[in-house]
Structures are given as C-alpha cells and as structure tokens.
Amino acid sequence: MGGSLNSTLDDMAVFGQMHLNDGVYNGKRILSEASVTEQRKLQIPEERFRAPGLGWHRDLPDENGLADLVFISGASGPHLRVDRRQQTVTVFLVRTSLQKVVPLFTDLNQYVEKMFEVADER
C-alpha cells in the first residue's frame, strides 16, 4: 500500500516555505539548518540523480550533491514541491489516483517554472 500526504493547503505551503528557508518560518526556527541540509543530501551514492533524500525525492543536485528541488507525492494525488532555484513552493491537492494527476501537476510545475524563470548558473 502506498503512502499519502494529509494536511491543509495552507499547512503544506508553510511546511514547504520553512524548508525553502532552511528550517525557518515567519522568523522562527522550526528545524535546524543541518537537518534541512541533510534531507537534501544524496543518501544513496550509487544513484546520483533522482535518488531519494530523507523524506523527499530529490532532483537538480548542485555541485555538492545537495538537491535544489525536493518533492513528495502521495498515493492519492497530493504533491508538494520546493524549488530553491526559483524560490517557489508548489502545493497541489487532489483526491484521486497518483497516475491520473501526474500529468496535471507536471503541467502546473512547468507553468510555475515559466512564471518564475531563473538563469541556469551552472
């Protein structure tokens, strides 16, 4: 049986923003910076790209192997994505099978990327 994300849109956005700000939300430290960094680190050296972090899927690793993009999807469709390059948090809540919504949140994330374009500095 797969897992899922169960929360409110606002709480998921706050959680994502806290991760984007290295563990700080609204001026208050929630997680240590070291904890947030560890979650972005490559945990399985044999799988350089898209290897899971601690609690997240990872993508776009920097030169130190830290993921600039972390995301998680639930089995019933919700999706939370934190993109450090674009400084965005995307939350997509839906209650249906993950297979049905993957194209939708892929399109949503591409739209967000176009709205908040950044130059590739690597």
pLDDT (tens digit per residue) in 77-116: 678 899 998 899 988 877 777 677 777 777 877 877 787 7
- Total number of domains constituting the chain: 1
Q: What CATH number should be reported for the domain holding residue 27?
A: 3.40.710.10
- The Cα-based distances of 77 to 38, 46, 70, 102, 121 in angstroms read 26, 29, 17, 8, 33
Note whether residue 120 is domain-resident. Answer: no
Note whether residue 29 is domain-resident. Answer: yes
Note whether residue 3 is domain-resident. Answer: no
Note whether residue 122 is domain-resident. Answer: no
Note whether residue 1 is domain-resident. Answer: no
Which of 46, 47, 49, 19 minimizes the C-alpha distance to 35? Answer: 19
Mean pLDDT of the chain: 80
pLDDT of 27: 96
Contact 88, 116 (CB under 8 A): yes
Report whether pLDDT(1) > 50: no
Report whether pLDDT(60) > 90: no
Q: What are 92's strand-pairing partners?
A: 79
The domain in which residue 80 lies consists of: 9-115
pTM of the model: 0.75
